Structure 1
């Protein structure tokens, strides 16, 4: 009898059939469900890490401002008549001394922030991680205001509670414009704020806040563009009581509009909206208080309390927030 290998079986072993199509589909469905359950958890963990990194940035900025005050006995001004801003003056205090040394402090020529190829233009085109929230979903460089490769920032100083627009001519009745040299916050035109001026208490007064930066979003002719170190549009500002310049909201905000107005109150005017603090985080934004502490403040905070912590000398009594 002839041996047929196809019918032979090895002793002690059994042949197994392949997966059926139904079994394969079940396995794929199970894997899909598991990935669907796992992905939100991974995304939440990543956002938590980004929020912590953002908080650390604000902590470093707060320490830099305190170190600056320890050295010069005053906080840097919000901006001056050269368009130099508070974030530019503390570069040495946040380990950017080499970049600070390249800056040219003059009103014309290479001292202008949009002078082609100048050290000042290069400085505002330099990515500084400390000034950028990792959750900010934007490209690193924009061609903006005559500056190629300009880098947007995530953090602005607090000018207080009184201004509703950059210019007095477009301010809400009974409020100010940022061109006014007298504000109730920490940073404004040619400001010289000291710790002794923060009468409401350093733990109850906002110094720096996150901002929902988006240079491509414009409302009522106002862009949500926020930058650091220097500003060519703030450049014409005068420190002798006269008005001049515009777009000071590039480097400071106020608490006159609610947090995250761009998302929470889309009907807000563009003039107010660009002054609003906010963030790419869900539910609120980080703020550095004047004592250097960092707090995440929800965008549901009542406006009375929010305005109270925006002023340095309003004599308000602030409870838990």
Structure 2
């Protein structure tokens, strides 16, 4: 009897060692590519932030063309500079809902509160790793602001009792700031004697409403503020939390990173960003540039004064 032999067919395949080697190689490649992907994403976010600043700068320029002045940071009804330029950044429909003259601009569920909760892309840097809405200071679902007006270099606190003299001699209650956008007083191109290309109008902030130091949140908001509303623009001590709308170069950029030991209200006044190494700034001529946070402090401050006569060097 003939017995047929059963031939065994050897099929090609991976051994366990080969499979482990392939997995290891893929892991190395992912580790090498992931930083590059993250850098590309941040570059895209930074480009969007720059576009936001350009939109804001264009809004300020058009506001000046119409009113012959830049907007004040706030006036006696708590409306902020970011609310006043809404018609010039294609948000006129939202602007038309605002109420300017009633006794309580910020009544719950009123049109001004609703406007504060309306998300505006141009006011929110996509790099900010925070939420888009917070119920804060009795305003529901407020949207944080990424950008602050330039009050100058003199203010070291919101109120007189917050002044830190080693940083600056004034509070934001003072009407005598040396910047471009601050309380009650509107500045003209003619007032910017250092040159519009040498003077900052608006800069980024490292906004974070959940970060609190010394009882002070790093909170910045747009359109309006119920805490600023008591301001009467007479130099008296009405109102507060003006740093919701403006920053000060009395303290260095990204102070939360580079001077974390300073008091909380100085951290809130600091310009800065979540971009690595610096922040975006809009100049009074409408141009936008990224300024490194390693900039010489004297040069940095010179960019924030409108008429001190400094000569800004390279940085």
Question: What is the match of residue 55 of structure 2?
Answer: 60
1:239 to 233, 237, 247: 233
Q: Does structure 1 retain, via aligned residues, the 8 Å contact 2:78–2:227?
A: yes
Question: What is the match of residue 137 of structure 1?
Answer: 129
1:123 aligned to 2:118?
no
| Structure 1 residue runs without a partner (length 5+) | 10-14
Q: Does structure 2 retain, via aligned residues, the 8 Å contact 1:83–1:236?
A: yes
Question: What is the match of residue 318 of structure 1?
Answer: 312
Q: CA deviation at 1:18?
A: 2.8
Give the superposed CA RMSD. Answer: 1.2
Question: What is the match of residue 7 of structure 2?
Answer: 7
Three-state SS of the structure 1 residue aligned to 2:289 is: strand
Q: Does structure 2 retain, via aligned residues, the 8 Å contact 1:165–1:271?
A: yes
Question: What is the match of residue 299 of structure 2?
Answer: 305
Question: What is the match of residue 12 of structure 1?
Answer: none
Q: Does structure 2 retain, via aligned residues, the 8 Å contact 1:189–1:237?
A: no
Q: CA deviation at 1:2?
A: 4.2
Question: What is the match of residue 151 of structure 1?
Answer: 143
Q: Does structure 2 retain, via aligned residues, the 8 Å contact 1:206–1:289?
A: yes
1:160 aligned to 2:166?
no
Question: What is the match of residue 32 of structure 1?
Answer: 27
1:169 aligned to 2:161?
yes
Superposed, 1:1-321 pairs within 5 Å as: 1-4=2-5, 6-7=6-7, 15-109=10-104, 112-113=105-106, 115-173=107-165, 175-321=169-315
Q: CA deviation at 1:3?
A: 3.6
Q: CA deviation at 1:107?
A: 3.9
TM-score (norm 1): 0.95
CA distance in 1, matches of 2:108, 2:304: 38
Aligned length: 312
Q: Does structure 2 retain, via aligned residues, the 8 Å contact 1:186–1:312?
A: yes
Three-state SS of the structure 1 residue aligned to 2:269 is: coil
Q: Does structure 1 retain, via aligned residues, the 8 Å contact 2:183–2:233?
A: yes
Stretches (4+) displaced over 6 A:
none
More displaced 10-residue stretch of structure 1: 16-25 or 91-100 = 16-25
Q: CA deviation at 1:281?
A: 0.4
The alpha-carbon distance between structure 1 residues 19 and 314, as it changes in their structure 2 partners (threshold 3 A), is same
Three-state SS of the structure 2 residue aligned to 1:218 is: strand
Q: Deviations over 1:89-120 (max 9, x none)?
A: 110110111100111112424xx22x111110
CA distance in 2, matches of 1:168, 1:77: 20
CA distance in 2, matches of 1:271, 1:118: 30
